[in-house]
Structures are given as structure tokens and as C-alpha cells.
A and B are shown apart, each in its own frame.
Chain A
Amino acid sequence: MYANPVAYVFSCFFVLIAHSAMLCNIFFNGRYDDVHQIAVIGAAVIILDIAYFVAIVAFRQTSYALDFLLILIIGMSVIFQSCFGQIHLDVKHYITCIVCLAASKGAYILCRNHKLLQDKKMYFYGAIGVLILITLIFTSAENMWIELGSFTIQPSEFIKPLFVLACATSIADQQKKHKILFINVVYENIALFGLMAAICLLQVKSHDYGSLPTFLSIYAVGFLLRICYPKAKFSKKKLIAVGAVILVFVIIGLKYAPDYVQHRLHVDIWSDKTGDGYQQSQALIGVANGGWFGVGPGFGALAKIPAYDNDIVFTTISEEWGLLYALMTVLTIIIITAIPLINPARSYFHGTMSTCICAAFLVQMALNIWGSCNLIPFTGVTIPFISTGGSSLMVSGLMIGMLMACQSPVFKEPAHKKKQEAPEPAWRWKE
């Protein structure tokens, strides 16, 4: 039973208030021909909110803070996406948001008990292998998606949650060292490094350099926590060596990157406004045009630019809703990643899992925002929960479900592993 019913009621109420305030903003400041469109968006968002509030009670979690933040950001996402260019409910995005919510609860149920997952770690490696093969066979550098009717799936996205699980499950085996010649090695670390190398090669082959930092951040955080496990294993020398190796790889990568990447690194967007700098220059003009409070939902000009709803979505929100709203969207995602700091995980497994997920969310968000604001080269990475894209939203849902599992964990041995308790001595004194 949830211990904070008052907090639950207040949280539900304020999420509804926040969404209603956004809908009022559309009504007074938006561009619409028919007021029914706003009513449809409002009904869709409010019904989704209430349905989720009712559904989560059945899960009997210790913590619901992430659920409320998730539904808050999902509602915001539906409202934003339904207002770009013109005001009408984006049904496709709405459906993918529902899938995202369902995926989050599925991942929550699967990841609650890490002692169960620990036995299944070989399946994670296998699933990643299968996804790498699917990506190699069915996709190409030009088209990374597999089309299923009106929906498209990007298989490489699904490697992210599985890779997080592989990092987290490997942490418990850090004490199982094996001596090869004169060096103590942990087989798990070698397997994980191999996996990381395979994923990197896949990303390079697919020309998806934008996702590379996300995978590297997951691996870096996982590696950092592995060499700190248990805490006594912390070694500054190892950390410095790892940092130096990463730096060398980054320098080599930048020096020998393909021509089109080199071009993106050095492009001056203002002198190439119709070429490679088109999206970024228009995006920055849009941000400037929007100011603090935006030009109004539906009035934005960025909706005519390619990838306005995923790659440069931050600037599209800035233009239509204002920089204040765009920054608060970012703040909401940052708060989602900060929840594990308020309520820390009670196991190394859940600690590793939550840290890897937070790293992935923050890196993805930073790449998108900095890329669209011309602070770094344009990458085409999505903002979790806000950008459109079925795979991206579903993977974000899976990952936040894993974060929820870290907040409400279960510590139970699998039935086949239950230990036979030693009989208590008859002489033991009880208080």
C-alpha cells in the first residue's frame, strides 16, 4: 500500500493543473480555426493523465514520483507536438506515448528484482547480438529504419536498455577474477568491452555517429562503477589511464573522421545558410524570434524545416512556446534524472542501472540541444520523451521503467536459489 496518499492526490492534481494551464495557453494564444481541435487535444491529454493515475495504483510501488514526472512530460510532449505548425491532435505521437507508458510499466516489472535478472544476463548479450545482426542485415547507412505499416522501427535504439542491463548485471561478478599469465582479469569486463566495440563498429558502419556518445556514456559510467565495486576497489591510477585512453581515441576519431563529419565540425552556419547550416541557422533565428514567451502555439515558422519535431525540437518549442517553456521542459527531464539522488538505490545493481540511464538521458538531451543551438556539430539525436519517433519514445519508456524499478526494488532470491537456513541453536537468547 502506498504510504503517501496525500502526496499522491496533490501530485495528480498539480499535473492536471499544469496540463490544463498549457491548454489554456493554446486557447488564448494559439492559432486555430476550430476550437474543437483544442477540445480534442485537451480531452486526449486529460483522459491519458487520469487513466495513468488510476493504473499506477495497481502496481503498489514504494515511490511514484517518477510516474508523475513521466506523465507530466508525456502530456507536455503530446501538447507540443500537436501544436507545431497547426493545432490538431498528433494521433501517431499520442499512440507512441501510450506505448511509451506501457513500456515503462513493463520494464518496471521486469527489473524490480535484480537477483532474477542476474541469472538471465546471457540473454541480454544474446539479444544485443541479434539486434546488431538485424541492424546489419535489414538497415543501411542511408536508411536505419525498418518499416512496419505506418510505423518505423530503429532496431539499434533498442540496444540501449539491453546494454544498460548488461552493464548492471556484470557488476556482481567483479570479484570473480581469473589469472591469465600475470594479469588478473574479470571475464565479464572483457565481454562487455567486446560488446561495446561491436556496438561502436555498428554505429560507425551505419553512419550513426550521433548515438555513439550515448553508448559511450553508458559504458563509461558502467565501467567507472565496475572499477569502484565494491567501493574499496577504487583506483585513481585506473581512472587516469581510462581517461587518457578515451582522450586518445577521441583525438584519433576526430582526426580520421569521414569527410562529411569533418565538414560538419568546421561548418560556419551563417555563411552556409542554405546548405549544411540551414537547419541550425533557421533554428537559432526561431529561438530569437520566440523570445521568452514564444510567438504562440501554431504560429511558428520552424514547422516547415526538416526534422522540426525531433532533431531541432528544442528550438521549435522555444519559438512557439518561448524559451521559458523550453527550459522548463529540460528542467523536467533533469529532475527525472535527479530522483535517484533524492532516493538512492539500495543495491549496486540498481545504482549502476540508474546511473547509466541518467547518463544516457542527459547525454542525449545535451547533444540535441547543443547541436540545434550550434554549440556542437549537429548530431540528429532525439530528446527523450519530447521528440517524435516510435523507437525513441519506446526506448525512453523502457529506460524510465528501469529507473522506477530502482526506486521500488524487491530483494528476493529466485525459488531455485533459496538457501537452506541453518537451524537456530536452542540456547540462543532472544530479546
Chain B
Amino acid sequence: MNSLNLILCAVAAAALDICILVLILTAYREKKSSRINWHRVSNDMELAEQDKTYELGCDEVLIGRHASADIRLPDLSVSRYHAMLTVADGVWTIKDIGSKSGIFVNGELTRETVLHENDIIKLGNRRLLFRKRRDGNVR
């Protein structure tokens, strides 16, 4: 192969490289829009405590005392695997997954119930507010 052909080979390989790079950038751009899409799927809800908010980032959110729970509540009155939040059609449901102290939604003991905006969820001694997502600087 002469040097011109070698340069042509390198140019073809570079075009492929650039294409792969562009597709990676496309994937990163799509990440942002899929996050917005998720907010729509999850009805843009979050859980809030006195001084903390918890994002509901996937369709099954485990709440418990254990270090690797999705929402960790380090309180002895909360079971290690206390409750599971699930979403379908933009409707969130909370389910007891074998906790000791149970789940109270608006003061009523429940095994499984659909959540509405501004419901108060009591897990052990912890009270969580199920509400619409707010900006970071709005309390």
C-alpha cells in the first residue's frame, strides 16, 4: 500500500471514531431527556422529611434501616427492610414487606395502599411526606 492509501485508511478509521464519539454524546444528551421522562412517569413525586428530601429514582424503591436500602432511615424503630414503593401509570403504591412496626398512611395502619399527594407516611418513629418534587432551594 502506498502512503496515500495509508492516509485514506487512517481517514476512514478516523471517520468511524468520530461517529462513535458522536453516538456517545447522543447517549449523554438522551440521559437528560430520559430523566425528564422519568419525572413524568413518576408523576414528579418525592418523599420529604423535616430536613431531607428523597428522590424516587426507580419503579421499586426500598425503604429501610439497612445501609443499602434505596431510602435509608437509620432509626431502630424502622425495620431493616420496611416498605417498598412501586409506581405504575404514574400512581405510587406503598407496600409493607414484613416490617415489625407496620406502615401508617394518614394515621391508618395499612399493608398496601395507593399514595396521594401530601399523604403522611409513618414508619416507626419517622414521618415522611409524599409530595410533588420541588426545587432544591424551596423548602
Interface residues of A (CB under 8 A from B): 3-4, 7-8, 10-11, 14-15, 17-18, 20-22, 24-25, 28-29, 62-65, 68-69, 72, 76, 115, 175, 230-232, 234, 293-296, 322, 324-325, 328, 331-332, 335, 339, 342-343, 345-348, 407-408, 411-413, 418-419, 421-422, 424-425, 428-431
Contact = CB atoms under 8 A, between A and B. Distances in A.
Given A232-B66, A431-B118, A28 B5 contact: yes
B116 to A, nearest CB: 5
10 contacts: A64-B26, A295-B1, A296-B5, A328-B16, A335-B20, A346-B41, A411-B89, A413-B88, A428-B117, A431-B132
A218 B17 CA distance: 30
Interface of B: 1, 5-6, 8-13, 15-20, 22-31, 33-34, 36-38, 41, 57-60, 62, 64, 66, 68-70, 80-81, 84, 87-89, 91, 93, 97-98, 106, 113-114, 116-118, 131-132
Given A293-B10, A421-B114, A430-B118, A346 B38 contact: yes
A175 B66 CA distance: 16
Given A4-B29, A428-B117, 15 more contacts: A10-B26, A25-B8, A62-B30, A62-B34, A65-B24, A72-B19, A115-B88, A230-B62, A231-B69, A335-B23, A342-B31, A345-B58, A347-B58, A422-B114, A431-B117
Contacts of A325: 13, 16
A428 B118 contact: yes
Contact of A343 (B11, B22, B30, B114): B30
A68 B26 contact: yes
B20 A324 contact: no
B118 to A, nearest CB: 6
Nearest to B131: A431
B121 to A, nearest CB: 14
Contacts of A76: 16
Contacts of A232: 62, 64, 66, 68-69, 80-81
A115 B15 CA distance: 41
Contact of B22 (A10, A20, A331): A10
